[in-house]
Chain A
Amino acid sequence: MKRLGNPIAFGVLVLAVIAAPFIFSNYRTYQLAFVGLYLVALLGLDILTGFTGQISLGHGAFMGIGAYTTTILVVDHGVRDIWTIPLGGVVAGIIGLAFGIPATRFAGPYLALATFAIPLAFIGILKRYPDFTGGNVGKNLPQLHSQLGWHTNPSIWFYVVCWVVALVMLPLAFVIVRGRFGRAMRSVRDSEIAAAANGVSTAGVKTLAFGISAFFCGVAGSLYAIGITYVNPDTFPIDLSILLLVGIVLGGAGSLYGMLFGALFVEFIRISWGPALLNLFSRVHHIDTHAPGSGLVVYGVVLLLVLYAAPAGAAGLARGLAGRPAFLRRKEDPSLSDPGLV
């Protein structure tokens, strides 16, 4: 039971998820549906970054792969949208594995650098094969509507779909990080050499973690396509990949429940938190709150301040500083240790 995560926390979350549509407007509920799908994406990325220690700046593209899988299956092959959700995950997962096999053989910075190229490469490929992907125009899905014989508001239907998936994926993430494979991932994160010395195949673990994270993001992307009912190359820009990583850091890398906060941040920073902060600033010092780029500046500054004040993210604050995972702790001044060794 413990392997599925804390049952009380999970119960509280389920109750909150059930209560939300009764409390909030349909529009808010629709936004909260996106929080659910971002949660799925962040859980996946956290398995790679927080638990295996591999930084990826390209996972928005795996959401894109999931979204395009769903779109093409629904629009061109007439598959019912909700059945494409696992397929979106599987396709993204397989492509993630294929990318991970070469990319994860190398330590540290190389992977982060290589992943940075994925979103733009993905967009390039979309534009190159318009017959398949719809090119620059993209593709439209059918209007969002409730299915399976249930008649309700489309927003609520979408909310239910997203959160059912999220509440399945959350215990799944717990199973992954608490099991044998989870131990292998953490040993790779804490010291690749020590892990290898203990017989862990570090490249294998990293590749599999990459594949799993791509699977989660693919599922999230599939939901995303269903929710916004269209996809085109601009739907999954490089900014989305960056935002996902920011969500991990703010939520607290290495904590699964922290991703709830990360998902709220990813959904609301651009549409409401950022503008609200700007309004606050503009009271002190007049600024044009609608100026292009102003939102980005606020979000970058918030990120920087969090890095200084709470490098372990929201989960770190909740846990207190003592519980900070080793890989986030401050190092001794590196230039002071072992000056004699070369």
Chain B
Amino acid sequence: MQTFFQTLTTGLSDGSIYGSLALALVLIYKATEVINFAQGEMAMFTTYIAWALMGHGSTFEWWAFFATLGIAFVGGAALQQTVIRPLERASVLTAVMATIALLVILNGLAAWIWSPQLQFFPSPFPTSSWVIGGVHISKQDAGTFGVVMACVLILWLFFRFTKLGLAMRAGALNPGAARLMGVRASWLLALGWGFAAALGAVSGMMVAPTVFLTPNMMQAVLIYAFAAAILGGLESPVGAIAGGLSLGVLLNMLGEYVHPVTTELRLPVALGILLVVLLVKPAGLFGRVVVRRV
């Protein structure tokens, strides 16, 4: 029973990271129908910025955390305006390739500036655990889960209750009608990229203490986030979070209880789960089948 609860909390903590990156993908996909393949590298790059702000040191600084969120927000919006916006009328293949070009550039730039060597990234939480009824709950896991969920909650409040958040939702649903209401659609897209980048930065800074800081640190996380987003239906923010959490828990449970599933098999298993879900529910667990016009 102890193992079960410990696996569960680790799973929720992993899953919250997958979910937040998946949510970032969904935010951009809903607004522009572009999958941002650079989402993981944006998160990686901003995590390096946080590390630089912390003086490459071994203690976590909250001010650097929040400063990084701001930098990520501005950077994400700037990328949308400079790189993505000129291609907004281009074909899907071109748009996808542009985000892949960003992926390659950010990956190379990080190695160029900070060297490809593995770096230690400090965690904001102590390595100790709470013991509740014999169950050890790691403060790292609980803290990660808490921080990610707090960010998601803030984002939800923004979209639900502010005028700008409402306009962003309306713009994603029907950009033409939103523009007729006086909404500056292009700026809202930049804002969406900003939020996605900031959310990615959160997931990067939370995952870095466990996977260490390297230019490739987000590759696997991005794939889990893709899986989470697909499980959630790609259009549903709630689905992205739920997909991330369930994937995190499922993978940790399989690793704990099914012997042949070692860490090497985590990704193949995730891919397998994804394919099975797509076979059973082609639009994901939370998505609706959209009837498309010719």
Contact = CB atoms under 8 A, between A and B. Distances in A.
Whether chain B is bound by chain A comes out as: yes
Interface of A: 49, 55, 57, 99, 102-103, 105-110, 112-114, 116-118, 120-121, 124-125, 127-128, 191, 193-194, 197, 238, 242, 245-246, 249, 253, 291-301, 303-304, 307-308, 311, 327-340, 342
Nearest to B225: A113
A296 B234 contact: no
B25 to A, nearest CB: 9
A105 B83 contact: no
A327 B93 CA distance: 9
Interface string B186-220: 00000000000000000000000000000100011
**What are the 5 tightest A-B residue pairs by CB atom distance, in nearest-first order?**
A296-B108, A339-B176, A293-B111, A300-B105, A300-B104
B179 A335 contact: yes
Contact of A303 (B104, B234, B264, B270): B104
Contacts of B176: 335-340
Nearest to B266: A124
B93 A292 contact: no
Contact of A242 (B33, B83, B104): B104
A307 B176 CA distance: 26
B229 interface: yes
B280 to A, nearest CB: 10
Interface in B231-282: 234, 262, 264-268, 270-271, 274-276, 278-279, 282
Nearest to A338: B176
Contacts of B262: 128
Interface stretch (B67-75, B94-102, B150-158): B94-102
Contacts of B294: 191, 193-194, 197
B91 interface: yes
Contacts of A297: 104-105, 108-109, 112
Nearest to B291: A193
Contact of A293 (B86, B109, B177, B180): B109
Contacts of A332: 89
Interface residues of B, number: 67
Nearest to A337: B176
A124 B109 CA distance: 27
Nearest to B265: A128
A246 B271 CA distance: 24
B118 interface: no
A253 B93 contact: yes
Contact of B100 (A106, A191, A242, A298): A242
Contacts of B100: 57, 242, 245-246, 303
Contacts of A127: 264
B264 A110 contact: no
B226 A301 contact: no
Given A113-B226, A117-B223, A296-B104, A307 B90 contact: yes
B175 interface: yes
A150 B213 CA distance: 52
B174 interface: yes
22 contacts: A49-B93, A102-B278, A108-B92, A114-B230, A114-B271, A121-B268, A124-B268, A127-B264, A238-B219, A246-B100, A293-B109, A293-B111, A296-B105, A297-B112, A299-B104, A300-B108, A303-B104, A311-B94, A331-B90, A332-B89, A335-B176, A337-B176
Contact of A300 (B87, B102, B111): B102
Contacts of B94: 249, 307, 311, 328
Contacts of A110: 230, 234, 278
Main secondary structure on A side of the interface with B: helix
Given A108-B92, A342-B173, A296 B98 contact: no
A294 B282 contact: no
A10 to B, nearest CB: 27
Contacts of B276: 102
Contact of A117 (B91, B175, B229, B271): B271
Contact of A335 (B92, B175, B275): B175
Nearest to B279: A102
A105 B105 contact: no
Interface string B118-134: 00000000000000000
A274 to B, nearest CB: 10
Contacts of B145: none
Contact of A124 (B102, B111, B222, B265): B265
Given A105-B282, A339-B179, A296 B268 contact: no
Given A99-B275, A303-B101, A311-B91, 15 more contacts: A106-B278, A110-B234, A110-B278, A112-B35, A120-B220, A128-B262, A242-B100, A293-B108, A296-B104, A296-B109, A303-B104, A331-B89, A332-B89, A339-B179, A342-B177
Interface in B21-46: 29, 33, 35, 37
B2 interface: no
Contacts of B33: 109
Contacts of A245: 97, 100
Given A308-B86, A308-B87, A327-B91, A301 B267 contact: no
B111 A103 contact: no
A117 B221 CA distance: 11
B98 to A, nearest CB: 5
Contacts of A120: 219-220, 223, 267
B186 to A, nearest CB: 9
Nearest to A242: B100
Given A242-B104, A300-B102, A292 B116 contact: yes
Contacts of B282: 105-106
Contacts of B20: none
